[in-house]
Structure 1
Amino acid sequence: MNELQAIRRDRWKLALPGRTQHWPFAIDSPPLLAAQLYDLDNDIGERHDVALDHPDLVTELLQLAEETRLDMQLPSTRP
């Protein structure tokens, strides 16, 4: 259950795929299979994934997430 679920920079939030199948409680939504990017200035409800429109930003935020995981000594979601 100790995993990084999202990373935010400025107006952007990248929701990260996780390993929620081992959680001891039910969740309302299925686990993410791929990272999803949201523009919180224009979509505070996080309803429109814009990852395909900003692939370079997704790559940057994924790298930042991996660095954060290493700093926090959390498991990676990389295969």
Structure 2
Amino acid sequence: RLEAVRSGPWKLAVAPQSEGLGKPRVGTPAPGKPYQPRLYNLDSDIGETTDVAADHPEIVKRLQELAAGMFADLGAVKKGPGVRPAGRVARPKPLLLK
């Protein structure tokens, strides 16, 4: 599941993200309300504490377009056409350290 898109210092959270075990997902909208993507500048805010989406709508738009392409290729709810089968080795040979 795609939760975020990163380009350079910018990270656009396109889905609510977990803060960790037992903590609520950040950005979860109220029932019936659409999710609002959040934009972070990781160069100045590595802890992702300040949403700067309103200050940079052009970056939000560009990253949303990238995310839309990923959703189309990989799928959002169902598997998309770009999903590959899980890797499998016909006759695996273990590598042992000596």
Q: 1:74 to 1:46 in 2, by over 3 A?
A: same
| C-alpha distance after superposition, 1:25-63 (max 9, x if no partner) | x85224252000000000000000000000011011011
Residue number among 50, 62, 65 corresponding to 2:67 in the alignment? 65
Q: How many residues align?
A: 67
Amino acid across the alignment from 2:59: L
Q: Distance in 1 between matches of 2:39 and 2:22?
A: 21
Normalising by the residue count of structure 1, what TM-score does the alignment of the two structures yield? 0.73
Normalising by the residue count of structure 2, what TM-score does the alignment of the two structures yield? 0.60
Taking CA–CA contacts closer than 8 Å with sequence separation of 6 or more, which of the two structures ends up with the larger relative contact order? 1
Query: 2:13 is matched with which residue?
Result: 15
Amino acid across the alignment from 2:7: R
Q: Distance in 2 between matches of 1:4 and 1:27?
A: 21
- Percent identical: 39
Q: Which runs of 5+ in 2 are unaligned?
A: 30-34, 78-98
Which runs of at least 4 in structure 1 moved beyond 6 Å after TM superposition? none
- Structure with the bigger percentage of helix: 1
Larger Rg: 2
Q: Distance in 1 between matches of 2:49 and 2:6?
A: 16
